[in-house]
Amino acid sequence: MRRHAWLFAFTLLLALPAAAQATRAYADVTVNMRAGPDIGYPIVDLIPGGTPLYVQGCTDDWAWCDVIAYGHRGWVAGNFIRYPYRQRWVPIYGYGAIIGIPVVRFVIGDYWHRHYRHRAFYGHRDYWYGYHPRHRAPPYRYRHAPPRFVHRDHDRDRYRYRQHVEREHIEHRRVERHRAEQRRHERQRFEHRRDEHRRVEQHQAQTRRRLAPTVLHRSAPEYRGARAPHRNDARNRASAQRNTQSSHGSSRNDNHHRGKNDHRRDRHDRDKR
């Protein structure tokens, strides 16, 4: 383990001078770093999109480039490497000759001996010595946005930002107006339901009052000053009824006796004649 650590440190120290002389680029997408300029070689590491790369050189067709990333040395497809050119980032594949990137030759024995002696696939180097690469690059994939250090037109960005803020403000006001309209309609519907409920209750109350029998209560205004009933009132009414009945009986007896006397008097008058 300690031996591997020393080998890694030694490899990193050897790579630093070369990285200082190389030009900085960045990985356009997440791409594999391989042990040679072909998709058939073993994978050394996985390079995330946006990772800074130090280009050491490329093949004669700029399909593959020898780069350094995170202290590892390997080959990355040129169409996934973005390189600064005239204040913009362009792919090395197609712009390599214009940019002036140096062309390097891949010698597997020397290259692997310097960089991959601690790798597992180094034990199968006899097989790879007979491998004939064709410099085949992987198919192009959708690239990510360039890093933040790319040159930008700040005046144009400021104008676009102001337009964006204005659009957001207009959209916010539109949403607020829509919400206010919804609240107003809901309040109107609530008031309409409340008034309708009140009308129904009033109609039901009027119907109950019209159909209910008329009852005079002592609490009515015209009876408010009347005397309260007493328990002797019933006795007085009963005695009054008895007196009335007795008076009617005596008057009938008087009439009966008066009729008998008149009859006798008439009969006496006839006898005298």
Locate the domains of the chain by residue range: 2-129, 152-206
pLDDT of residue 77: 92
Q: What is the DSSP string of 115-133?
A: H-TTSGGGGGHHHHHT---
- CA-to-CA distance for 144 and 147, rounded, in angstroms? 9
Residue 147 scores a pLDDT above 50: no
Q: What does the pLDDT look like over 74-115, one tens digit per residue?
A: 999 988 999 888 888 888 888 888 888 889 999 989 999 999
CA distances from 250 to 244, 261, 263 (A): 10, 17, 20
Least confident of 27-36, 60-69, 220-229: 220-229
Q: What does the pLDDT look like over 4-52, one tens digit per residue?
A: 444 444 444 444 444 444 568 899 899 999 999 998 899 999 999 889 9
User: Hey, what CATH class is 2-129 in?
Assistant: mainly beta
pLDDT of residue 129: 86
Least confident of 30-34, 70-74, 224-228, 260-264: 224-228
